[in-house]
A and B are shown apart, each in its own frame.
Chain A
């Protein structure tokens, strides 16, 4: 087993959730210029739900995908530009074809953890165009390890060059991560990756468990800037890995400088593990729901925690944010 770890930065994509997809051109410019000097393998840019996802359902982007990606690309020389794509939101013709023409290097095609077969054509298309194609299984806590492996194998068959499992609700315990990553890395022919959320304060430790279990790609966000309680904090992870003698090719000082940009320019409210993020993890609901739940709960005067628990009971997946109002109205009537 190699001890080389690729760190993949999702700050400018998952972090979009944290500011309701309102990234500005100058934020992207400053950030991509700085991250390009750090040795980070790739930086992902875009709407929180990925390419083509700007919508009233999950939030409208301030900037178009074209502006977001072209701005980022023009500042990147060393670090690759990645994008998140969910079939059902984005299509090849409307979105992926254009994104590739704007210089995207890595396309990570994502589906709910049991629906890998909707990614076949998109992964195939990206490979055909000679770009890096990864398969992502979102909300992976909702499937058994065996099912995850079956779905990961499908993506591998479709041409995925790496498989990443996402703890989208931040609800994994370390043993859950260990079991899944071990199974996947022992049975797949491509590198396995892990994407943590910090809802239960386990972002860094779960990432370490994933690495020990064989993961070679680890997602993180500087300052932990992401949906819900945020992702694994990238500069902390880099520091820990350096201390543990893993090879990451990271210039830690430069990464710390980049993180400071986020602290200074991006963050409107401190990133902490809020009460609601904990409930989101316990209910097993996608972290990206948090802002919508908060707003609707206030408007309809119901407890946001009750909304989360009901969403969890209904086993909603990412993209079902439309059920929030319906649930709030039903809770309101019950009071």
Chain B
């Protein structure tokens, strides 16, 4: 039996999640809840025959048996209100906002640990794209002096929420980068590029490393890229690691699947793909425990 999941927040992220869930052999969306039954996302969800509600989290409070796991695709401030309610209802929560309440989770890095928690924070899109790479390098290089992430995303892929929360994006990504890499000296930068046709998401990672073993770094990075590709097919290394001016530099390109969001919105696609990979792991894990 599939794991019953609910989505609160019916904007771009929530609607794209719904489409991805519809393909999953492990997940079934049993509630799509927002504030406005006439929104674009709601209308799309109607065509999937999913139960809808305009009562937000209240829909889960009223009928807690509707789901086992909740994706929160609202906003950081809303999630702060939702988290204690969902905890009391005993739901596993995957939080796609930069609320920073739950465990920072990156499927390619700490999936097993995540299964022990009931609130998982997906950090940010730039974080999902770049932190696993910094983590992979930090496993083989102990003395990374400094790490910097620079992401450029298409203007059209940055909705009003992203734009209003640009400071939170930076703060959350920097905090998670330090957490996973062990490097305290970090900086995160983000640009919006309005070029038409829209550009794919690009993230460059700079690592200050003394006398790096470039072959070893390249091989570790490529291994991590392959792992991420298993749940984000449009993820690729656009610049192989180079050593320039005392820095190891590499770039990542992320193309989306083009589900609800256009392909250029790789930044949003990667966080959703990561959230689905995580939810599927919960589903598989539950099957195993049921089998016992």
Contacts and interface: CB of A to CB of B under 8 A. Distances in A.
B242 A325 contact: yes
A319 B150 contact: yes
Interface residues of B, number: 33
B189 A115 contact: no
Interface in B158-185: 160, 163-164, 166-167, 170-171
With a 10 A CB-CB cut-off, give which of A89, A93, A114, A142 has the most chain B CB atoms. Answer: A89
B239 to A, nearest CB: 5
Interface residues of A, number: 33
Contacts of B208: 56
B188 to A, nearest CB: 9
Interface stretch (A10-18, A23-31, A301-309, A310-318): A310-318
B150 A326 contact: no
Contacts of A93: 167, 171
A314 B249 CA distance: 20
* Overall SS of chain B's interface: strand
With a 10 A CB-CB cut-off, give which of B148, B193, B245 has the most chain A CB atoms. Answer: B193
A89 B167 contact: no
A320 to B, nearest CB: 5
A112 B190 CA distance: 12
A314 B7 CA distance: 37
B167 A121 contact: yes
Contact of B194 (A87, A91, A112, A121): A112
Nearest to B242: A325
B119 to A, nearest CB: 24
A320 B191 contact: yes
A326 B238 contact: yes
A88 B195 contact: no
A117 interface: yes
A329 interface: yes
A120 interface: yes
B150 A299 contact: no
Interface in B169-223: 170-171, 187, 189-195, 199, 202, 204, 206, 208
Contacts of A114: 155, 194
A92 interface: yes
A150 interface: no
Nearest to A319: B191
With a 10 A CB-CB cut-off, give which of A121, A322, A329 has the most chain B CB atoms. Answer: A322
Contacts of A188: none
Contacts of B155: 114-115
A56 B244 contact: no
A55 interface: yes
Interface of A: 55-57, 87-89, 91-94, 112, 114-115, 117-118, 120-121, 142, 295-296, 299, 314-320, 322-323, 325-326, 329
Interface of B: 146, 148, 150, 152, 155, 160, 163-164, 166-167, 170-171, 187, 189-195, 199, 202, 204, 206, 208, 238-239, 242, 244-245, 247, 249, 251
Given A88-B191, A326-B239, 13 more contacts: A91-B167, A93-B167, A93-B171, A112-B194, A118-B163, A118-B166, A118-B192, A120-B163, A314-B195, A315-B194, A319-B152, A325-B244, A326-B251
